[in-house]
Amino acid sequence: MKVWLIFFFLVGAVYGQVRTDSPKDKDYYEYYDYDDDNLTNRQAVDSQPPRAPEQSPPRYQPPPVSRPIQPAPPPAQPARRPNRQRNRTPAIVKTNEVFNCPEPFGFFPHSRSCDRYWACENGTSTLKLCGNGLVFDDSDRLRENCAYPFSVDCGERTELEPPISTPNCPRLYGLFDDSSNCRVFYSCWNGEASRFECPPGLAYDTEQRVCVWADLVSRCNQLEVAEGFVCPDPAEVSNQPGVFTRHAHPTDCRGFFICIEGVARAYGCGIETVFNAGTLQCDDPKNVPGCEKYYADLDIDAKTLEKLQS
């Protein structure tokens, strides 16, 4: 009996020693303790430093798409600018004049000058001057705006600064006609002139500031505008009853003239067609003797031709 007791005692001692020396059980008992059936996480004093938390791999990011460099947009055509033009650099004028601001902030017209105005800030007034050729627009007291004279009613503010001229620009800002060619006009911005030319048969109207029929512009030499073409006497044109007549251009197959009361206006047929003097209509070149190879003789590639057609 004693032998059996001794045997069981030895087996129990060996089993307890194996369980105590097990690394797995050692870590288990070092990190966890039980207290009132609640599991508590406890860091062992002599344990290894905690591992860094595992991070999920970064999401796949596609490489940036290489985009072609877009060319800078062309500057707006000065002649197409809206009537109101903001003067980006109004000049400050030194003066002994006194102006009492009617409001703490705002912009107010000068009593006599149309291109001068008062700028008020915190009740303090400063006299400013628009660019040469522009006048102050007083339609909005909260907006500092200098515009073309034709878009502003200056009323009794009749005084203006003396003109500052550059080539083709009587003033630094404005729209001006060419004195030697009624089809040409210039848009001047800060003294830099941009040249524009009206299409054939049209001329620049300084009053409307657009291209109109050349015979409506008095300063045009009508013979020059009509390229030397002189309308025949209506009595000689018996096959064209009506108020106007059509006539082929003497040197250009596409061109033709319309005569109204003895005044010639230049016109032109659409691309790939020419004027047929027999039918007085635009027609296929093969139907007009002498104009069959009109487009073949012109140096126009297919891409340009397609663009003109559209």
Domains identified in the chain and CATH numbers: 78-151 (no CATH), 174-219 (no CATH), 234-309 (2.170.140)
Do the strands 32-35 and 38-41 form a parallel or antiparallel pair, or are they unpaired?
antiparallel
For residue 85, pLDDT beyond 50 = no
**Cβ(109)–Cβ(136) under 8 Å?**
yes
Supply angle C-alpha 60, 62, 64, rounded to 5: 145
Task: Work out the average pLDDT over 217-231.
Answer: 79
Query: Which residue is associated with the tokens 């909005």?
Result: 140
What per-residue confidence (pLDDT) applies to 1? 53
Name the more confident of 155 and 271. 155
Query: How far is 282 from 271, CA to CA, in rounded Å?
Result: 10
Name the more confident of 181 and 33. 181
- DSSP 8-state secondary structure symbol assigned to residue 179: S
For residue 283, pLDDT beyond 50 = yes
What per-residue confidence (pLDDT) applies to 49? 47
For residue 12, pLDDT beyond 70 = no
Please give the single-letter amino acid code of residue 271. Answer: I
Quote the pTM value.
Answer: 0.57
State the chain's mean pLDDT as an integer.
75
Task: Work out the average pLDDT over 122-138.
Answer: 95
For residue 114, pLDDT beyond 60 = yes
Spatial strand order in the sheet of 192-197 = 174-177, 184-189, 192-197
User: Which residues, in sequence order, are bridge partners of residue 184?
Assistant: 197
Please give the single-letter amino acid code of residue 222. Answer: Q
Lowest mean pLDDT among 166-175, 179-188, 259-268: 259-268
Q: What is the pLDDT of residues 182-201, one digit of tens each?
A: 999 999 999 999 999 998 77
For residue 172, pLDDT beyond 70 = yes
